[in-house]
């Protein structure tokens, strides 16, 4: 007998919400129960399109017994209170990245969910891509030998109207700059693969969006605790936008992911499975380089289905919030470095000084 589907509610009906809805509807493990959003027009349109209930407030949706998990899809600086409300209501939570824009709020969310006995996962869907999982396994097995370099290159384009469509998208304090809003995924991949980070030196500027006061370009040099070094280049100013690259180079091998596909997979100790790994991913799958809605929902579906499995199996979700805290600290250290014009050593001494 098939297990009953787990009911999900979405808090927020903005740009990313349709990807969550499509992922939920494509899965045999889940059902989209409801959406909660203050904007009545957006709420009603979304509920009609995806065939779910519409609630004006999160409180109303939390009172719905069919909702077992809530996906928090609000602006980056508006995650903390909703997560706490969900925990108090006994609902599991998937929160869009970053979990919050401060370490203090992130720690509070983790503690609240732990105390309430509910799961807290973060939507960092790039972690589940097959090339990333292959790299992580190879690192764990020691195939790279000593890792020399781990780099991320994200040379994207966003028109200025992207930043002006909502007030928070032009607010640096709300986490709308390229570092947190876009590059956070790829900073997280480096942290996930090679971290933790020891020291960072960053520069930030605005090359192509003069009507907004935030960085559209990030350049950073990184020192990892393992002894590797690296570069992070991220921009939304570079028309027309090209696919991201994640590169790991060691004494015995090199792996490069471009977009979601394995571009390079070469090791001194060639193995039978390597040929299959080289075929991971597809050049046809768009990954956000040229527009804010230019990506698929399959990776989201993996995270959502994993949350269902985590609930049923009594384990942590595949991207638990405490595993993302170091990424946020690294991002905040980049802001501190760019502000001071000097390298910053982690842990961050005073996150309030960042702003």
For the stretch 38-64, pLDDT in tens is 999 999 999 999 999 999 999 999 999
Going from the C-alpha of 6 to that of each of 52, 70, 72, 80, the distances in angstroms are 14, 11, 16, 24
In CATH, what number does 127-288+326-345 get?
3.30.360.10
Q: Please spell the DSSP secondary structure of 324-351, one letter per residue.
A: HHHHHHHHHHHHHHHHHTS-EESSPS-G
Each domain of the chain, given as residue ranges in start order, spans 6-123+298-319, 127-288+326-345
Q: Do 47 and 14 touch, CB atoms closer than 8 A? A: no
In the structure encoding, which two tokens stand for residue 211, read together?
Answer: 């009507």
Measured CA to CA, the distance from residue 342 to residue 302 in angstroms comes to 40
What pLDDT score does 2 carry? Answer: 64
Answer yes or no: are the C-beta atoms of 40 and 65 closer than 8 Å: no
Q: Measured between alpha carbons, how far is 9 from 19 in angstroms, rounded to an integer?
A: 13
Q: How much is the pLDDT for 296? A: 85
Q: Which residues of the chain have pLDDT under 50?
A: none
Neighbours of 281 (CB within 10 A): 19
pTM value?
Answer: 0.96
Tell me the torsion sign for CA atoms 196, 168, 21, 152.
negative
The 10s digit of each residue's pLDDT in 150-197 is: 999 999 999 999 999 989 998 888 889 999 999 999 999 999 999 999
Q: 11: helix, coil or strand?
A: strand
Task: Say whether 127-288+326-345 and 6-123+298-319 share the same fold.
Answer: no
pLDDT, position 352:
84
Q: What's the chain's average pLDDT?
A: 96
CA distances in angstroms from 307 to 87, 303, 317, listed in the order given: 15, 6, 5
Q: CATH assignment of 6-123+298-319?
A: 3.40.50.720
Phi, psi of 204 (to 5 degrees): -135, 140
């Amino acid at each position: 007998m098939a297990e009953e589907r787990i009911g999900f509610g979405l808090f927020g009906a903005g740009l990313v919400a349709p990807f969550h809805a499509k992922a939920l509807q494509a899965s045999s493990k889940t059902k989209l129960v409801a959406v909660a959003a203050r904007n009545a027009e957006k709420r009603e349109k979304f509920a009609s399109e995806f065939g779910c209930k519409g609630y004006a407030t999160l409180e109303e949706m939390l009172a719905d017994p069919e909702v077992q998990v809530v996906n928090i899809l609000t602006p980056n600086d508006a995650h903390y209170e909703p997560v706490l409300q969900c925990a108090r209501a006994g609902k599991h939570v998937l929160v869009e990245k970053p979990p919050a824009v401060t370490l203090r709020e992130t720690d509070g969310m983790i503690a609240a969910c732990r105390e309430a006995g509910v799961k807290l996962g973060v939507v960092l869907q790039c972690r589940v891509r097959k090339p990333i999982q292959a790299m992580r396994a190879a690192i764990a097995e020691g195939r790279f030998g000593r890792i020399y370099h781990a780099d991320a290159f994200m040379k994207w384009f966003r028109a200025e109207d992207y930043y002006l469509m909502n007030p928070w998208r032009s607010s640096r304090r709300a986490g709308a700059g390229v570092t947190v809003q876009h590059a956070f995924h790829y900073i997280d991949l480096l942290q996930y693969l090679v971290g933790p980070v020891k020291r960072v030196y960053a520069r930030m500027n605005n090359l192509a969006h003069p009507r907004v006061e935030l960085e559209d370009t990030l350049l950073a040099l990184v020192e990892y605790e393992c002894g590797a070094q690296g570069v992070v280049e991220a921009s939304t100013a570079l028309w027309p936008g090209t696919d991201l690259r994640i590169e790991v180079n060691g004494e015995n091998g090199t792996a490069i992911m471009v977009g979601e596909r394995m571009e390079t997979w070469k090791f001194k100790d060639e193995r039978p499975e390597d040929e299959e790994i080289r075929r991971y991913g597809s050049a046809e799958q768009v990954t956000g380089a040229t527009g804010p809605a230019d990506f698929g929902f399959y990776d989201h579906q993996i995270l959502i289905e994993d949350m269902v499995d985590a609930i049923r199996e009594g384990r942590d979700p595949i991207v638990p919030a405490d595993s993302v805290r170091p990424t946020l600290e690294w991002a905040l250290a980049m802001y501190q470095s760019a502000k001071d014009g000097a390298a910053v050593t982690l842990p961050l001494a005073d996150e309030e000084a960042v702003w």
